[in-house]
A and B are shown apart, each in its own frame.
Chain A
Amino acid sequence: MTWDLFDAHEPPEPADRGAPKEKAVSNRVRPLTVAGVNALARGILESSYPPLWVAGEVTGWKRAPTGHCYFTLRDRTAQIRCVMFQSDVARLPMVPDEGMEVRALGTLTLYEQRGDFQLKVRTLEGEGVGGLWRVAFEKLRRRLEQEGVLAAERKRPIPRHPATVGVVTSPVGAALHDILEVLGKRAPWTEVVFSPARVQGEGAARDIARAIRLFARANVADVLIVGRGGGSTEDLWAFNEEQVARAIAASPIPVISAVGHEVDVTIADLVADVRAPTPSAAAERAVPDRTAILRELSAWDARLVRGLERRATVQRHRLEAMQEDMAAAFDWRLRETRTKLAALAGKLEALSPLAALRRGYSVVTDEAGHVLRSVTKFEPGARVNVRVQDGVVVCRVDSTESRDHEQ
């Protein structure tokens, strides 16, 4: 196929394939165009080797407006121009720093317009433990630390009894299932609001950050769980990206991070208010267990009853004391009244007709009890009652004499 390029300008004679034999022949052959020879060289280069790993130091990293990046890989004695297309660059955790030692996987090629020999790089790794990922992680961590975003005093408390738990994770995958299972088991009265986000690959970080901000805008959750199940460093990378870190830090709703398995600490874990090692653990951290609340409720119940009883006892004692006071007051009044009464009785007695009777006077009444004050009321032969001090004398009227009559 490489040789087809010759057909573009002149079909070579079959015998001429390989090397020209004589100078004289060159007069007859039309020269190749520059484009033609570059295309030829490119073809040779690209078909010569499979993709190669090349170690070197990165220098002169430049991003073109198209997003493609150009740089040079060099070692002590040589250098090679490199190109990395935008879609490949997007998968890197970070752009390598000037002078960084890397390993690049790429194919040899030629940039035809310039005739530049170059390595078309598909991926880049930092040398050393964790490579570029580690470096990118540390860089962002340091920056956030300096800004105070990771400070312990920024951590907000998780409400003890959230009415609504927000979840940001992938709609597919085990994380959501695990979280719902734990929430359903421990606190099924809890409302769950789920905002789906891709959690790996291109656009994942943007998705996650957007979902976190959506919760803030909708204001529908008391606590957020943000996470995914375990995976490779590359799989978890979205949780190490700055936009996710910023979204968590800016969230007015406290965030529990739940990324992967226990060994992987991500930037999201560091920024979150609480870090849970797994999605299930995050769900456990988010809600209390039913039995724990029931225990708490019965404790409140007992204390309420005791509290009221205590109040009632205090009141009863007060009431009893008041009763005693009242009784004492009443007693005193009673005694006073009695004394007064006795005095009055003495006075009364002095005025009483009974006293007159005791002095020897008597009262005469007729049989109906009418007091007979005049001789005209007495009928001779009638029965009258004479009341004396110690009883009644029943008498019969013999005769009457009027004092007026005498005169």
Chain B
Amino acid sequence: MSSEEQQGPSLEEMLRRLEHIVGKLEREDLDLERALALFEEGVSHIRSAQKILSVTELRVQRLLADREGPYLEDMPAERP
């Protein structure tokens, strides 16, 4: 996993959270302040998800192992 993804939530997590937020907004009797906070969180997830989706270049790494254990190394994109 890349360092960016380790910092923020993954696309999967964001979409799950969105589902949860929308469900709460639609079903629960929230006060306006809480509803607004949820709405803002939802919008920020949509923005970050869109940012993730804007990546256009596939990144490929190679998983190998030596005596110390598994390690990753970058694999240059080959276009045969």
Determine whether the beta carbon of B58 is less than 8 Å from that of A193.
no
Task: Kindly state the separation between the CA atoms of A161 and B17 in the bound complex, as whole angstroms.
Answer: 13
Determine whether the beta carbon of A163 is less than 8 Å from that of B12.
yes
Task: Kindly state the separation between the CA atoms of A220 and B69 in the bound complex, as whole angstroms.
Answer: 13
List the A side residues contacting B61 at CB < 8 Å: 191-194
List the A side residues contacting B29 at CB < 8 Å: 314
Determine whether the beta carbon of B32 is less than 8 Å from that of A194.
no
User: Digit string of A291-305 for contact with B (CB within 8 Å is 1, else 0)?
Assistant: 001101100110111
A194, A196, A215 — most chain B CB neighbours (10 Å): A194
CB distance from B68 to the nearest CB of A (A): 12
Determine whether the beta carbon of A311 is less than 8 Å from that of B60.
no
List the B side residues contacting A184 at CB < 8 Å: 57-58
Determine whether the beta carbon of B12 is less than 8 Å from that of A162.
yes
User: Digit string of A235-261 for contact with B (CB within 8 Å is 1, else 0)?
Assistant: 000000000000000000000000000
How many residues of chain B are within 8 Å of chain A by beta carbon? 46
Q: A62 near B: Cβ within 8 Å?
A: no
Task: Kindly state the separation between the CA atoms of A310 and B29 in the bound complex, as whole angstroms.
Answer: 10
- Return the contact of B59 from the options A191, A195, A196, A214 (Cβ within 8 A): A191
List the B side residues contacting A307 at CB < 8 Å: 22, 25-26, 35, 39
Q: A188-B55, A294-B53, A315-B32 are in contact. Are A301 and B46 (CB under 8 A)?
A: yes
List the B side residues contacting A8 at CB < 8 Å: none
- Return the contact of B22 from the options A166, A290, A300 (Cβ within 8 A): A300
User: Digit string of B37-67 for contact with A (CB within 8 Å is 1, else 0)?
Assistant: 0110011001001101111111111111100
CB distance from B48 to the nearest CB of A (A): 10
List the A side residues contacting B72 at CB < 8 Å: 193, 218, 220
Task: Kindly state the separation between the CA atoms of A300 and B49 in the bound complex, as whole angstroms.
Answer: 12
User: Digit string of A187-226 for contact with B (CB within 8 Å is 1, else 0)?
Assistant: 0111111111000000000000001001101101010000
List the A side residues contacting B58 at CB < 8 Å: 180, 183-184, 188, 190, 192
Task: Kindly state the separation between the CA atoms of A54 and B43 in the bound complex, as whole angstroms.
Answer: 75
User: Digit string of B20-39 for contact with A (CB within 8 Å is 1, else 0)?
Assistant: 01100110011110011011
Could you give 27 example pairs across A and B, Cβ below 8 Å? A166-B63, A188-B55, A188-B56, A188-B58, A189-B54, A191-B61, A192-B59, A193-B62, A194-B62, A215-B63, A218-B65, A218-B71, A218-B72, A220-B1, A220-B63, A300-B15, A300-B42, A300-B46, A303-B22, A304-B43, A306-B26, A307-B26, A308-B36, A308-B39, A311-B32, A311-B35, A315-B32
Residues on B lying within 8 angstroms of A by beta carbon are 1-2, 5, 10-12, 15, 18-19, 21-22, 25-26, 29-32, 35-36, 38-39, 42-43, 46, 49-50, 52-65, 69-72, 75, 80
